[in-house]
A and B are shown apart, each in its own frame.
Chain A
């Protein structure tokens, strides 16, 4: 055996050819092996006579042996070998000798990234990448299981151009999966859609993820895939490998903050430098809903929450002119919370921990292939007493009843359960509200009274804490105020495939996906939050059930019409049934503490339920016409009839067409270009009135909870607590006028009319997509570059257009408004170095898009007050500063910045582009990979920054000129004539003229205004509140960031070591995730801007994000 030749006839793959030539006899026989030495059955072999161009074909048998019997002695033949998953091989100029046997042995290289690679496309159809006329990118499941994140899909971050995956910093938070600016909501497993909150996917059971980027790719799924889809192919037993056991285990911990508020430790709670505790409920001096504008820690005597109470003694505390008298004994006012360089928040949080273990068994024989897998994951959150457990079983089986008939089944059970996850919203129900923003070092999280939670004699009734209106004892919040989440997901399918002949096969498949969810909240006595001011607890249950089935019947065909033209495709029909029901019940306070039962409600129970059903009948067809080596033209069509739309307009059709042509197959290109494919596609998709997610109380609010009143599926029923959104994909009933009912007075029902009107002829909305691109490979395929451009025309949409309120309504549902989205995606991948022992691979993804208004509703020059045709849809309009002509901030006579009375354009909410660079190195058994990714451009109102500046917590409030004035403010606390010393940078109108504005807030009389530098002084607190609180422009921050996303150091034990054991493979890896977070200004680094990957105007609060370090062990028996 000796290497003879290496050819590079095709472009996308690496190819090595080893041919052994020995004398064996007449004709030609040979065998085909993989580069690992396995015999390859089913390889197509072609022999072409160099002189006559006559062609002969053969197929290797189960021993990898092929045979040509009719070759002519003395003639010279070119041989080519093709096999799916392997790089093609060829051998040119084989001379058939008269005497002896002619024999060949050839090795094909397993192809890891060639363009003859197959990818999974819509309905689970595998296609060769070179025949696909639209962008699709595949990610191997194995790439995501090592440096795994808590969430199964956040590992896709940076792996696919155009897909932005924003990890959610919260335990059990749902990541934001944005493809080309829209949230992906469709997850398809082995060709059938499943309901997913992303947590019910078990990464260990995933062979690969295919990301369908645009409508053309997803046209066969109809409206659910209009924003793209994530197709998941589950692992199956490998028919070649017999019985295999694989164990994969990852243990990781979360430690070291990358995004945590930077706070001051010099001033405590209070306002205007004042503080004296009486009851934490407003009885004292600024002792309730205070901010961190209290006195400086100077050891001065101040009544505090743990001071001794003496009804018979009146203690006097003086701040300037304020003479405060109370019965709490004043004690030295000192910093208690900041210990050894860590504040209360850092000292309260712990290292998170996660262990994920999977064992899978696969078995295969002549007629069957089965795989059983069990995964278990246990995560402990960085917030004490929080965590998540996930159990997952997965079974796939395939049975070949005959040569023609095959049955396949997949069953997946997933249970996500936790007795307690934190509630991270803005409000006293949220730990981060307490610890990141509003309380400071005037108390210590480790002091015994705080740790003991309950006041002596009032266990389970009254809490120990400095404040009792808006802030809660954190230990009570995590140990007593418990929020359970119990979700069971089941999905599976059974299918039968019957081969009618070599051209046709038919598949029948039925699938179900269903979940059952229970969420509970136990709010103890002594806990206070918005709208729950009595402090006597509550108990809530939120139960949801979703069931969906999809039954498909489809016929696959594959015909060679002429030697040049091949037609493949399918014709099918789908029946989708959907049903959902939910029930939400809450007590209205508890009579007896700790009895979390509805019978224990103090006032009438608050309860509601919701039911919905939907059916969609569909027929679809696809055809790929391959015209020799020139091109593949693909057509798809789908027609849906959906019950989510009104009669008369509930049937709609989606067409798509795509063209792919491998130019390098038929045009001679310069040698350095080894492959060039061009592609283009067009598709139209429609949508109905459905919603991807649903909340706890669709269409209902409760007066007692001060919820918002919008009648939608995601109506926010309560002023506190998260309105958890679970997967839905059912009807949203938005096109129907219904009366809203509520109990506004004395628990008596009242009704109000729909605030919307509807065009009776309303139709589905339209998305038209054009996509163009090319894939090119250079330098013997070492370097690949892929570029895609896309244009979406969205509209006419189903638009809830704002109408004149005088019509009696606020919204008119019509078909109107078009937006045009254009974008570009680039992928570069390559092997910088490849030798026997060392390899360096690089993957770079880059993407950008923008969306503009293309056609406004009829008769309107403006849409949403500010937007004109051609404007980007992500322009952020919000409150802005008034400015002088030279751009300086204008101040009023009180030294506060002036707010423009009309919202102003502040910036674009979307980033300019996203990027990711992944490097992987392999040296012998050792591998190292790391990824940087990030976003450039875009702005957001940073609420955490705003709140910490307004609230006096931010470290910037004690630094520089601000910090100097803050000292003055503290010295003058309570002095009634004091007006502060801080002078904001900017100007004032110096001639007393009034500023005049037009309807867009533009100043119309600059000519009458004279400006001079601002000289008015202010206290830091009142200045900061106006600057950072009342004016969004003051809290605007950039969304530009970069992260060192993941680092994996792996080692595969040499096979030689394992030879004598039952073990065939052992891989160990050290992994790190989110190790570095680059953001240009530390002041703003309290939030992880990564999570805001959509056009969102403002950030929220978050639990600090941490680095993750782990160890992965993978053993295959």
Chain B
């Protein structure tokens, strides 16, 4: 027996422990705390809405022609869950303070911007959302929904506060921000983004400009325009908050390796039709002529060779038209022949020009709407490499030719003044016709960028006319909102039920939210 005990003791001794139970419990493979800059990096990288998918269909720029790979339906599910990003914002702020930053620091200032950006984005998608009681973790598992007005009011205040903070930090020459992939830690640039973004939010509230005195939309809009020292805004394309694609780490979703997907999507007539109606040379840059039209003798530089498919049509019809070669693809030279295509705007100067033009058109501020309108169009032309006047080389890819080419090269002569002189382009003044022109040009400039903004603008203004039909699903309608985050139906039931009372107790994608009323 003694021998046995010794034997057992030896064996147990051999496996003697070096770590305590508490040490063993800890997962040492991942951090339990990180620098604020790493969270900031993650937030920045996640700001972009990548083109080349559902977004382009919702805004009716592109359509899917093969229902195996997707469809063009507006059977919206839940909106984006951006609360997880907001938790990263909260933790970024905390980690900055924990690392010894002053109460007012770049992370907290930009944290306010991120909060405004994400809450507003969710509200635009879904309507009323939890905001004031949100982000409290286990302390409040059933946050109540704030009405959309409160959300927007809070967001505007957050932007004002971010602007004030950034101004103070800039004045104090604060250099503590690191890891900024967009502006190399230049806070002045961020301040312009904040105020430019505020203009966007005010524009989203256009239906409330005259009816809602609390929000004071026209005055807030005018204040930005009239006081550039307090509210610096973007002054050119170099101020854009934009995502720059990189090879090999961050390729543009459409690139020469994904070229085969190109034939599954066509350009939609909502977009192409508008361009060709306006005889807009940007169509040569963004769109290929319909391949069958060209192979049957059509010219690759004739507007009539550019045909979009009707996104409201049945998928079978679109499939057949695509098979027959009678509808266009996106321009393969620009988007598929390389890896980085174009920068993708998140909040851009061109949109700002049109937002200002719209505000002036609506009488919120005084100014030259036409000048902003023209500046927007010109900046967009420049973005697509369309010269103000002269010859432009355009490229298209016929069927039967690999992505590596040879591309068909053609020359078109363009002239901005001639283009602008057209009655449906030339600014018609601060009236409804002028507003429609602004919105049309803004829609054109939103091609493949700025996420759901073109859809939100259409929803607010119905410009340009979106195609409807069996292809929309949803009883042949374009949906007006996303459903709420599905977990709330089970986990936050009382508040969820209260929030959908306004839609007839159904989380209805055709319901009309407050800002649209």
Task: Using CB atoms and an 8 Å cutoff, list the residues of chain A in contact with chain B.
Answer: 271-274, 276, 278-279, 281-286, 288-289, 291, 319-327, 405, 469-470, 496, 498, 500, 506, 508, 510, 533-534, 549, 551, 553, 575, 577, 588, 602-603, 609-615, 641, 643-647, 650, 698-699, 703-704, 711, 731, 733, 736-753, 755, 757, 759, 801-810, 812, 859-865, 892-896, 899, 901, 950-951, 973-980, 994-999, 1004, 1018-1019, 1021-1023, 1025-1026, 1029-1030
Q: Which chain B residues lie closer than 8 Å to A288 at the CB level? A: 259-260, 263
Verify if B464 is at the interface (C-beta below 8 Å from A): no
- Cβ-closest chain B residue relative to A602: B248
| Nearest 6 interchain pairs by C-beta | A894-B314, A326-B400, A533-B257, A282-B260, A288-B260, A806-B130
Assembly CA distance A1104 to B508 (angstroms): 45
Given contacts A551-B15, A994-B477, 8 further A-B contacts (CB under 8 A): A271-B319, A282-B260, A321-B324, A324-B399, A643-B21, A736-B25, A806-B485, A862-B489
Q: Is the CB of B27 within 8 A of A733?
A: yes
Question: Which residue, A743, A749, A1023, has most C-beta atoms of chain B within 10 A?
Answer: A749
- Determine if B171 is an interface residue (Cβ-Cβ < 8 Å): no
Q: Is B225 an interface residue (CB 8 A)?
A: no
Q: Are B491 and A860 in contact (CB under 8 A)?
A: yes
Residues of B within 8 A of A994 (CB): 475, 477
A274, A699, A743, A1030: the one within 8 Å of B67 (CB): A1030
Would you call A748 and B181 a contact (CB within 8 A)?
Answer: yes
Say yes or no: is B185 at the interface (Cβ < 8 Å to chain A). Answer: no
The chain B residue with its CB closest to the CB of A747 is B249
Residues on the B chain within 8 Å of A1019, using CB: 316, 319-320
Interface stretch, picked from B51-59, B138-146, B161-169, B231-239, is B138-146
Closest partner residue, chain B, to A951 (CB atom)? B68
Q: Which residue of B lies closest to A326 (CB)?
A: B400
The residue from A274, A325, A745 contacting B45, defined by CB atoms under 8 A apart: A745
Is there contact, CB below 8 Å, between B39 and A750? yes
**Taking the nearest CB of chain B, how far is it from the CB of A1111, in angstroms?**
46
Contact, CB under 8 Å: A808 / B39: no
Tell whether, in the assembled complex, residue B506 and residue A894 are in contact, meaning their CB atoms are under 8 Å apart: no
A808 and B4 alpha carbons, distance in the complex (Å): 57
Shortest C-beta distance, A500 to chain B (Å), equals 6
Query: Would A757 and B401 count as touching, CB distance under 8 A?
Result: no
Chain A hits for B292, CB < 8 A: 321-323
Please indicate the chain B residues that have their CB under 8 angstroms from the CB of A1026 in the complex: 67, 315
Q: Does B102 contact A (CB under 8 A)?
A: no
Query: Is the beta-carbon distance between A603 and B248 smaller than 8 angstroms?
Result: yes
- Provide the bound-state CA to CA distance between A469 and B258, in Å: 8
- CB closest residue in chain A, given B75: A901
Query: Which residues in A have their C-beta under 8 angstroms from that of B507?
Result: 999
* Cβ A807 vs Cβ B134 within 8 A: yes
B42 proximal to A (CB < 8 A):
yes
Partner of A285, one of B34, B35, B258, B400: B400
Let me know if B429 is at the binding interface, CB within 8 A.
no
Which residues of chain B are within 8 angstroms of A281 by Cβ–Cβ distance? 259-260, 402-403
CB–CB A807/B41 < 8 A: no
Report B377 CB to chain A, min CB distance, Å. 31
**CB-defined contacts of A802 to chain B, threshold 8 Å:** 487, 490-491
Contact B137 A809 (CB under 8 A): yes
Closest to B494 in A: A859
Min Cβ gap A1070→B in Å is 47
Q: A272-B320, A810-B487 are in contact. Are A641 and B21 (CB under 8 A)?
A: yes
Closest CB in chain B relative to A156 CB, distance in Å: 33
Q: How far is the CB of B428 from chain A (nearest CB, A)?
A: 36
Assembly CA distance A974 to B319 (angstroms): 10
Q: Are B319 and A272 in contact (CB under 8 A)?
A: yes
Residues of B in contact, count (CB < 8 Å) = 113
Among A271, A613, A750, A803, which residue has its beta carbon within 8 angstroms of that of B487?
A803
Contacts A496-B4, A643-B24, A894-B317 hold; do A282 and B403 have CB atoms under 8 A apart?
A: yes
Cα distance A324–B400 when bound, in Å?
7
Q: Is the C-beta of B179 less than 8 angstroms from some C-beta in chain A?
A: yes
> Are B87 and A809 in contact, with the CB atoms below 8 A?
yes
Residues 241-284 of B, flagged 1 when their CB comes within 8 A of A and 0 if not, give 00000101110000001111111000000000000000000000
| B87 x A753 contact (CB < 8 A) | yes
Q: Is the CB of A893 within 8 A of B87?
A: no
Residues of B within 8 A of A (CB): 1, 3-5, 7-8, 11-12, 15, 17, 19, 21-22, 24-35, 38-39, 41-42, 44-46, 66-68, 71, 75, 81, 83-84, 86-88, 90-91, 129-130, 133-138, 140-143, 179, 181, 246, 248-250, 257-263, 292, 295-296, 314-317, 319-326, 398-403, 470-471, 473-477, 485-493, 495, 500, 505-507, 509
Chain A residues, Cβ within 8 Å of B88: 751-753
The residue of chain A having its C-beta at the shortest distance from the C-beta of B314 within the complex is A894
- Closest residue on chain B to residue A643 by CB atoms: B24
Contact A808-B137, Cβ < 8 Å, known A749-B38, A749-B41, A950-B68: yes
With beta carbons under 8 angstroms apart, the residue of A500, A611, A807, A1022 that contacts B1 is A500
Most-contacted residue by chain A among B34, B295, B398, B403 (CB, 10 A): B34
Tell me, in angstroms, the Cα distance from A1105 to B25 when the chains sit together.
44
Across-interface contacts of A644 in B (CB, < 8 A): 25
20 residue pairs from A and B, CB less than 8 Å apart: A271-B323, A282-B260, A326-B399, A326-B400, A588-B248, A602-B248, A609-B29, A711-B30, A736-B25, A736-B26, A740-B30, A746-B249, A751-B34, A893-B470, A975-B320, A980-B316, A1018-B316, A1022-B314, A1022-B316, A1026-B67
Pair A284/B400 contact, Cβ less than 8 Å = yes
Residue of A whose beta carbon sits closest to that of B475: A994
Report Cα–Cα, A744/B133, bound state, in Å. Answer: 30
Shortest CB-to-CB span from B20 to chain A, Å, is: 9
Cα distance, A1042 to B129, chains bound together (Å): 53
**Cβ-defined contact, B324 with A974, below 8 A:** yes
User: Which of A282, A641, A974 has the most B CB atoms < 10 Å from its CB?
Assistant: A282
List, in ascending order, chain A residues with CB within 8 A of B19's CB.
613, 615
Contact B492 A806 (CB under 8 A): yes
Asked whether A750 lies within 8 Å of B41 as measured between CB atoms, the reply is yes
Q: Which listed residue, B320, B486, B500, touches A976 by the CB 8 Å rule?
A: B320
Report whether A274 and B323 are in contact in the complex, using a CB–CB cutoff of 8 Å.
yes
- B residues within 8 A CB of A271? 66, 319, 323
Taken together as a complex, chains A and B put the C-alpha atoms of A278 and B259 apart, in Å, by 13
- Picked from A274, A323, A533, A750, the residue with its CB within 8 Å of the CB of B38 is A750
| B401 touching A278, Cβ below 8 Å | yes
Contact A611 B28 (CB under 8 A): yes
A962 to chain B, nearest CB (A): 15
Q: Name B29's contact: one of A278, A611, A755, A809 (CB within 8 Å).
A: A611
Q: Which residues on B sit within 8 Å (CB–CB) of A286? A: 263, 323
Task: Tell me whether A753 and B68 are in contact (CB under 8 A).
Answer: no
A901, chain B: closest CB distance, angstroms: 5
Residues from chain B with a CB closer than 8 A to the CB of A980 are 316
B27 pairs with A738, CB closer than 8 A? yes
Residues on A with beta carbons closer than 8 Å to the beta carbon of B295: 323-325
Complex interface: chain B residues within 8 A of A610 (CB): 29
Asked whether A808 lies within 8 Å of B399 as measured between CB atoms, the reply is: no
Residues of A within 8 A of B259 (CB): 281-282, 288
Report B-chain residues with C-beta under 8 Å of the C-beta of A1025.
66-68
Q: B42, A752: Cβ atoms under 8 Å?
A: yes
Q: Are B32 and A737 in contact (CB under 8 A)?
A: yes
**Given A551-B12, A1029-B67: A283 in contact with B400 (beta carbons within 8 A):** yes
A644 to B489, CA, bound (A): 33
In the complex, the answer to whether A807 meets B83 with C-beta atoms within 8 Å is: yes
Contacting B11 at CB < 8 Å: which of A551, A731, A748, A893? A551
Known: A802-B487, A807-B137. A979 touches B34 (CB 8 A): no
Most buried by B among A751, A806, A975, A1019: A806
The docked-state distance in angstroms from the alpha carbon of A951 to that of B69 is: 11
Select which of A743, A747, A805, A1004 is within 8 A of B84 by beta carbon. A805
CB distance from A893 to the nearest CB of B (A): 4
A488 to B179, CA, bound (A): 45
Residues in A with CB closer than 8 Å to B17 are: 577, 615
Which residues of the other chain, A, contact B71 by a CB distance below 8 angstroms? 1030
